[in-house]
Structure 1
Amino acid sequence: MLGEAARAAGYRLIVRDAVGSTMEEARRALDQGDPGSLWIVARSQSAGRGRHGRNWGSPPGNLYASLLLVQPCEPALAPQLGFVAGLALHDAAAKVTGLSAPRLALKWPNDLLIDRAKTAGLLLEGESRAGRFAVTIGMGINVASRPDDTPYPATFLKAEGAAASIEALLAALSDAWVARFNAWSLPGGFGPTRAAWLERAAFLGETITLRLAEGPLSGRFLGLDASGRLELDVAGARHLVDAGDLYFGLPG
């Protein structure tokens, strides 16, 4: 069930036992004219995916959700919703585990970490269909288990908080989304959102490696610029990066 604040704000929930992916279910709802503010949750996925089309393992016991938003903002601002979603996810995980920063941290651009081990991932996609601009935010959150075949450390919420459950997490996440989205929607709202995200950022000030389309780029993580691009100090020169995969060691 969604949280009380989410229900009061008009958000709706669909729960499926098994789907290909909640992202595809959201796209289907959009094609059918759904007005948005819709959470779609599945108990398992057979074709879950992450960034760049990567497979996302989806065993039962974890939370697989997509949030469909219709006309949430101007298309140029849509990437900022990834930071809003990250903060909501951090808030919800903190509530169900009792953890806080720096143990609970956000990795640019889309992951939640506990003690530098991946616990959740976000995927944000925007598209225009039939004259409507829509954003779908997919979330895969390790609640009861973690995958064993990842090239990076991974963990799950129950390992840190025995009371963590899909139900408690969804209620906390949906309410946290409402609060963070409303704050971001205020005039100048990305400034406080950016500041809050940086307070929870993993590897800030450390040397990181970004895997970009043109090849790896290493430097010191300085922060985010006013529009949300990652700032990297590379041999004394400031680089701005719109998108990429962040590694905190040399890329494998």
Structure 2
Amino acid sequence: MTLRPEIPVLRFDSIDSTNEEALRQLAAEADLPLWIVARTQTKGRGRAGRSWQSPEGNVYATLLLKTAVSAATATQLSFVAGLAAHDAAAAHLSPNEAARLRLKWPNDLMLGRAKLAGNLLESISLARNRGLAVVLGVGMNVAALPDDTGRDVASLGLAPSSVEAVFASLARAFDIWLARWNEGRGFPAIREAWLSRALALNETISVNLNNSIIRGRFCGVDDTGALKLTTEAGVVMTVTAGDIYPDALR
């Protein structure tokens, strides 16, 4: 799967959510792939149903595409999105600042200890065995910081006029990493690239699983993208969903 340079971009000044618009475009049988981009969102969504504050001056973009892989394999695209966001951000930072970028499992991009970007993946089975549609939203703070998030957040520190250039970098990076993913056949290389940029790899972390905290060493991700954790008892377990808290950021 490779995105073409001429891939259409559907633009909005304000919208409820670029992911929601992607679902509407899918229902309307729009040609795929398709980018949906908005200057602001009134009901932006993050992982686990969380609200994504969307002031003007940032990137809010969703890629709607079709794939032949299973829904389980399509979850790998969250790692593709993370790598694309990393490279797009790095292109607009100084080398010293770019070196502070880290990917935080499962779907965040951090600048130091603060969240810079995140992605949200949703998939829908198409009728008549026509494959799978994937809705892959990315939000990145370019010039504005959301309020009252309850966590440290960062931006690229650019002018609002830079949003379009950052989105262009993001689209180009997606093109590169989607080609390398190659319908899942290239996931071992994707995983290696992601881990080389990962926050707290081989370090002690805490994982919040349904309000239960488990501590251990973050030792990698498996073929499905699940986090591998070596617990304090020496047991290797996999985590498919949850919030992680590296000791280095506590």
What is the TM-score when the length of structure 1 is the normalising length? 0.89
Contact 1:120/1:141 (<8 A) preserved = yes
Matched, 1:28 2:24: yes
Q: What does residue 115 of structure 1 align with?
A: 112
Of the candidates 212, 216, 219, which is equivalent to residue 213 of structure 2? Answer: 216
Gap regions ≥5 residues in structure 1: none
Summarize the Cα distance change of 1:21–1:187 in structure 2 as closer, same or farther, 3 Å threshold.
closer
Cα deviations across residues 138-187 of structure 1 (Å, max 9, x unaligned)? 111100011231222111011xx669821111111101101100011077
Of the candidates 197, 201, 204, which is equivalent to residue 198 of structure 2? Answer: 201
Matched, 1:92 2:88: yes
Q: What does residue 139 of structure 1 align with?
A: 138
Shift of 1:101: 6.0
Q: What does residue 51 of structure 2 align with?
A: 55
Of the candidates 56, 67, 80, which is equivalent to residue 76 of structure 2? Answer: 80
**Secondary structure at the counterpart of residue 75 of structure 2:** helix
In structure 1, what is the Cα distance between the partners aligned to 2:23 and 2:175? 21
Of the candidates 44, 48, 55, which is equivalent to residue 40 of structure 2? Answer: 44
Q: What does residue 242 of structure 2 align with?
A: 244
Question: Is 162-171 or 225-234 further displaced after alignment?
Answer: 162-171
Q: What does residue 121 of structure 2 align with?
A: 124
Summarize the Cα distance change of 1:163–1:30 in structure 2 as closer, same or farther, 3 Å threshold.
closer
Summarize the Cα distance change of 1:187–1:127 in structure 2 as closer, same or farther, 3 Å threshold.
closer
Q: What does residue 175 of structure 1 align with?
A: 172
**Secondary structure at the counterpart of residue 148 of structure 2:** coil
What is the TM-score when the length of structure 2 is the normalising length? 0.90
Matched, 1:65 2:65: no
Count, aligned residues:
245
Question: Is 139-148 or 193-202 further displaced after alignment?
Answer: 139-148
Contact 1:126/1:135 (<8 A) preserved = yes
Gap regions ≥5 residues in structure 2: none
**Secondary structure at the counterpart of residue 23 of structure 2:** helix
User: Aligned partner of 1:71: which letter?
Assistant: T
Q: What does residue 106 of structure 1 align with?
A: 103
Contact 2:89/2:166 (<8 A) preserved = yes
Contact 2:142/2:160 (<8 A) preserved = no
Summarize the Cα distance change of 1:187–1:143 in structure 2 as closer, same or farther, 3 Å threshold.
closer
Cα deviations across residues 84-120 of structure 1 (Å, max 9, x unaligned)? 1110111111111134664111000100111121001
In structure 2, what is the Cα distance between the partners aligned to 1:203 and 1:193? 18
Shift of 1:26: 0.2
Shift of 1:36: 1.9
Cα deviations across residues 55-90 of structure 1 (Å, max 9, x unaligned)? 111111111111101225332211100001110111
Question: Is 92-101 or 203-212 further displaced after alignment?
Answer: 92-101
Cα deviations across residues 207-243 of structure 1 (Å, max 9, x unaligned)? 1122223622221111112332211010211111122
Percent identity (aligned): 47
**Secondary structure at the counterpart of residue 122 of structure 1:** strand
Backbone CA RMSD of aligned residues: 2.4
